[in-house]
Structure 1
Amino acid sequence: MQEKFNGIVAITDDFAKQHLNDEYAQLLRFATAALCRKKPSPLAKGREKTWACGITHAIGMVNFLFDPSQDPHISAKEIYQWFGVNPSTGQSKSKQVRDTLDMHQMDPDWCLSSKLDDNPMTWMISVDGFILDARFTPREIQEVAYTQGLIPYIPDNGESEYIGDKQASPHHEKAVNPSPNALYVLDVFLIDGPITEEFIAENSVVSRTIEIKGSNTLEDLHKIIFKAFDRQEEHMYEFQVGGSGPQDPNARRYCLKQAFSSSGLTQTPTGDVSSTSIASLGLSIDEAFGYWFDFGDDWWHQINVTNIVDKAQSGKYPRITKRVGASPPQYADFE
């Protein structure tokens, strides 16, 4: 496969030199090499330029290359045009690449190294059924996660700081003004669910920016997320916030009381969403927490706290301030 590798990489290197950067070029080489090592290799058949297009599109989807807010960025249409490949063919090859390498959006294995620190999927681990950010867990859990290959390195070389029974990291600010009058700015990313490949190809990023007051409840947050993603039918849901496991006082799971008994979960919830205020969560700027909607179809969301303002301006809250990407249908038709 050496000749095929050299041919494809020559094309992707040229594209990266014109439109991307050296970091992208190297990642494209890694992906091409990984495909060459497969037995049998899918690259054995097909035009080099077509495969180069598919590999570039696949890596671009993982790293949100099509999002204008990213640097560098380029549209999928421009990729197809540069490689001289029909869009349907380019999408098909991209899907084949992603399926072969088990590649998905925000995949830590195929994320640009410069984006690893800010990629929430890099650090999200499951501890006794809780989805946690490894950067905020005790050192012993970080070491286990690293040994098992779940995180790329131990955050901050073990220099994280403990404050009381909470852990803080130099990359994250401490809790800011837990006042009911504070304004929380949240970016809600859809990271997994029953979504078709066609939808993913057209919507590389699906997120909503929400402003909510500290006095609002988690039930209010659920309702505005429900509205933001244009959902039509209610289901059970749950928020997962911080901690290192169910025995850790910082490991908190919030849901409807009836949702807990219906989900089959065995851990006692920390609180009811209807009576838990946003301010009471002790959130910090740059902290992330999870939102799980529909215990059957399993729509998973990552919620990032991008800002906390001391006092909200007058107005109606919560509210949606930004939409990126189309909302996938609540019940996708895969037939």
Structure 2
Amino acid sequence: MTIYVFRVWLQPNPLLGFEPDEEVWRDIEINGSHTLAAFHEAIFDAFKRWDSHAYEFITRDKEGIALRSYVHPHLYDGGVSWPPMDDGEIGRFIDRAVPDDAAAEAKERFRDLQRNPPTEGNAADTTVEELDPEQLGALSYTFDMGDGWEHSIDLQEAREGSLDGGPAVVNEQGEAPPQYRDLDDDQ
């Protein structure tokens, strides 16, 4: 079995008043046999959240192109990972958001994935190992679709072995913000 250590960065969220002076991240150690739902719980605990919400993981290739989404078990319906785009929408997106020097193969892969999105995965049925973390470009995680807490996840280490318990935080930087903005601060 493989043990993975992932660094989970919490992205700034200006709408919720979270614009830290330093990066905020947690290194989470997890067995490859743990599910993405277990990984979600570890992230949830690591950032001191207390109110459960929907979440989604998205796998990305080396160019950052979204490959597939894995959703909260209650959201899972076996549909597509994202709504398909028509050629006009794809062209506009590429013109606005994709660097001019991006490889033609990457643009074509993006076009294909947007025209024909893959089916979504169920986070409760997908193990970390199934994502093939050592070959994966990156992983992103969104918690609470309304408030949009965005996270970037990168593999830091992979080694043979097995954890005695569940996933655990093994290193951290920065203070986790409160899950909800204090509305009294707005007055």
Do they fold alike, i.e. is TM over 0.5? Answer: yes
**Superposed CA offset, 1:29-68 (max 9, x none):** xxxxxxxxxxxxxxxxxxxxxxxxxxxxxxxxxxxxxxxx
For residue 211 of structure 1, what is the aligned residue in structure 2?
29
Amino acid at match of 2:125: S
Look up the SS of the partner of 1:274 in the other structure: coil
For residue 112 of structure 2, what is the aligned residue in structure 1?
none
Structure having the higher Rg: 1
Q: How does 1:183-198 map to 2 (within 5 A)?
A: 183-193=3-13, 194-196=15-17
Amino acid at match of 2:152: Q
**Superposed CA offset, 1:216-236 (max 9, x none):** 000000000000000010111
For residue 158 of structure 2, what is the aligned residue in structure 1?
308
Q: In the superposition, relative to structure 1, how do residues 206 and 195 fare at CA in structure 2: closer, same or farther (>3 Å)? A: farther
Q: Given that residues 286 and 304 in structure 1 are in contact (C-alpha distance below 8 angstroms), is that contact kept between their aligned partners in structure 2?
A: no
Query: 2:45 aligned with 1:227, yes or no?
Result: yes
Q: How does 1:17-166 map to 2 (within 5 A)?
A: none
Quote the offset at 1:287 in angstroms: 3.9
Amino acid at match of 1:326: E
CA distance in 1, matches of 2:33, 2:39: 11
Q: In the superposition, relative to structure 1, how do residues 270 and 260 fare at CA in structure 2: closer, same or farther (>3 Å)? A: closer
CA distance in 2, matches of 1:303, 1:215: 18
For residue 160 of structure 1, what is the aligned residue in structure 2?
none
**Superposed CA offset, 1:294-320 (max 9, x none):** 1110000000101110223x5212111
CA distance in 1, matches of 2:171, 2:16: 21
**Superposed CA offset, 1:44-97 (max 9, x none):** xxxxxxxxxxxxxxxxxxxxxxxxxxxxxxxxxxxxxxxxxxxxxxxxxxxxxx
Amino acid at match of 1:256: H
TM-score, normalised to structure 2's length?
0.69
Q: Given that residues 290 and 302 in structure 1 are in contact (C-alpha distance below 8 angstroms), is that contact kept between their aligned partners in structure 2?
A: yes
**Superposed CA offset, 1:112-160 (max 9, x none):** xxxxxxxxxxxxxxxxxxxxxxxxxxxxxxxxxxxxxxxxxxxxxxxxx
Compare the two structures and name the one with the higher strand fraction: 2
Q: Given that residues 210 and 319 in structure 1 are in contact (C-alpha distance below 8 angstroms), is that contact kept between their aligned partners in structure 2?
A: yes
Amino acid at match of 2:32: G
Q: In the superposition, relative to structure 1, how do residues 281 and 214 fare at CA in structure 2: closer, same or farther (>3 Å)? A: same
CA distance in 2, matches of 1:295, 1:309: 33
> Quick one: percent identity of the two aligned structures?
30
Amino acid at match of 2:134: S
Quote the offset at 1:256 in angstroms: 2.2
CA distance in 1, matches of 2:125, 2:179: 27
Q: Given that residues 188 and 208 in structure 1 are in contact (C-alpha distance below 8 angstroms), is that contact kept between their aligned partners in structure 2?
A: yes
Q: CA RMSD in A?
A: 2.8
Q: In the superposition, relative to structure 1, how do residues 294 and 265 fare at CA in structure 2: closer, same or farther (>3 Å)? A: farther
1:239 to 46, 53, 57: 57
**Superposed CA offset, 1:187-246 (max 9, x none):** 00001324426x624xx12100100001000000000000000001011100000249xx
2:140 to 282, 290, 294: 290
Amino acid at match of 1:212: I
- Relative contact order (alpha carbons < 8 A, sep ≥ 6): 1 or 2 greater? 2
Query: 2:23 aligned with 1:200, yes or no?
Result: no
For residue 327 of structure 1, what is the aligned residue in structure 2?
176
For residue 166 of structure 1, what is the aligned residue in structure 2?
none
Amino acid at match of 1:253: S
For residue 166 of structure 2, what is the aligned residue in structure 1?
317
CA distance in 2, matches of 1:276, 1:260: 12
Amino acid at match of 1:236: A
Amino acid at match of 2:43: I
Q: Given that residues 58 and 139 in structure 2 are in contact (C-alpha distance below 8 angstroms), is that contact kept between their aligned partners in structure 1?
A: yes
Aligned residues: 146
TM-score, normalised to structure 1's length?
0.40
